[in-house]
Amino acid sequence: MPRLKRTENWEKTLKEDVRSLNRGWSIQEFKGKMRLKWRYVPNQKDQTVMLPFKWAESFRKAATRRIDNIYNLTLEGHSLKTATLIAEGKAPKIERDWTACLKNFQQYKTEHENAITQKTFEHDYEKVIKDAVKLLESKDPPTTTADLIELCIKDWKPGSATRKRRTNSLCQFLEYCVTRENAPVSWLPPKDRKIHIGRKAANTKSQKKHPITDQEILNLIEDLQTTEAGSRWGNALKLLTEYGLRPVELTHLQVKKDNKTGQKYLWCSYEKKSGGGITKPRRLEPLPVEGTEWNLLQQLEANIIELPKLSAEGNGVAEQIRKYLERRKAWISLKEKVKARGEDLGTYSFRHSYSVRGHQKGIDSGSVADAMGHTLECHLRAYPWATSETTQTAFQKARSSSLLNSP
């Protein structure tokens, strides 16, 4: 007669604990060690792994803690084998071709709905994702989303624009991998990314640039145009000033003709896609500095205007202008003057002056915003004087109307 195997109380407790996790979970003794089973789909072959614990009561508590961790990892989308490796503190073997995922993501971002340009992808996405892929395919890859993100942004200050952009771009890539490349759910990035982006220190100076007066612009350009190179850069500043351009838009200009009126006008083909919306190509409206006749449209049409050689890559144009100006005495002097009134000077100051000029001439905020290529909401947020000037103008007109209509 076969001898019945007596089940110890600890064995019963361990098996009940494992079964209570969820349907399909079980544990058994195999060659003196613990073997964990998981049947996650009915009528499918069990997934099994050996745990590094002897089948003995002294290992029951440690095994229970380990199994709880493994179970939680499977809820995040990991297989039993991968979950066991992660729970042991070992990086799982690469389960997918992350380089191929990057290639597919690039195609998705540049060819599908709300597609971005190739240049935008290279500037906003490619660098950080390549960094992430290199880490994921290394011998000792990060095993959590949080660790991966932190490794890819650690060289940038909390709250900085670059840190924010890298975080958001990497998170988009990880979301894509989970939803379209069958990556484990554990790679889903957090919805609240503030913990990674961080905040600027309380004493960090704002990077927002301020407008400068038309006279300050004229004085600067006059000083620059004493050399041939200075004349070319001066022409670039004239275009920024008269048309309210972003620096990069200098490389996206063309002259067109209005089919109805026959009038020539300047067209900007630049498209900007960001979290704040889409900047579409637009017709540009000149707002000349009073007393000037730069004839920029005519020079562009005749192809006789001389401009510096500009790079259209990323922030290349703004950076080129900044580097040139920072070596000029007139710019250094103007920067100190602007600083003395508690403001900051930058390459966008010329664009900002366009906004001020428009409001001073009584043009409504919506029209100025449209001409500058952004929404009214963005315009009012970026240019606080737009709200105050419009309000003052509206009330002045109302008061004037009341006086005219009074008996």
Contacts of 320 (CB under 8 A, 6+ apart): 308, 310, 311
Of the pLDDT bands very low, low, confident and very high (cuts 50, 70, 90), residue 44 is low
**CATH of span 214-402:** 1.10.443.10
Would you say residue 281 has pLDDT above 80?
yes
Bridge partners, residue 27, by sequence:
36
- The mean per-residue pLDDT over the stretch 381-389 comes to 54
Give me the pLDDT at residue 237, please. Answer: 97
Tens digit of each residue's pLDDT (9 = 90 or more) over 318-355: 889 999 999 999 999 999 999 998 888 999 999 999 99
Return the higher-pLDDT residue of 113 and 237.
Answer: 237
Would you say residue 403 has pLDDT above 60?
no
Return the higher-pLDDT residue of 58 and 75.
Answer: 58
Q: Which string of DSSP letters, residue by residue, matches 119-171?
A: HHHIIIIIHHHHHHHHHHTSSS---SHHHHHHHHHTTS-TT-HHHHHHHHHHH
Return the higher-pLDDT residue of 155 and 185.
Answer: 155
Dihedral angle sign, alpha carbons of residues 221, 224, 228, 229: negative
Contact 30, 46 (CB under 8 A): no
Give me the pLDDT at residue 1, please. Answer: 42
Give me the pLDDT at residue 319, please. Answer: 86
Give me the pLDDT at residue 78, please. Answer: 74
pTM above 0.75, yes or no: no
Give me the pLDDT at residue 405, please. Answer: 47
Of the pLDDT bands very low, low, confident and very high (cuts 50, 70, 90), residue 404 is very low
Would you say residue 122 has pLDDT above 60?
yes
Which sequence spans correspond to the domains of the chain? 9-87, 98-197, 214-402
- The mean per-residue pLDDT over the stretch 44-59 comes to 87
Name the average pLDDT for the chain: 84
Of the pLDDT bands very low, low, confident and very high (cuts 50, 70, 90), residue 4 is very low
Dist. CA 334–CA 324, nearest whole Å: 14
Tens digit of each residue's pLDDT (9 = 90 or more) over 175-231: 999 888 888 777 888 888 888 998 876 554 445 568 899 999 999 999 998 899 999
Tens digit of each residue's pLDDT (9 = 90 or more) over 71-104: 888 876 677 888 888 888 765 554 578 999 999 9
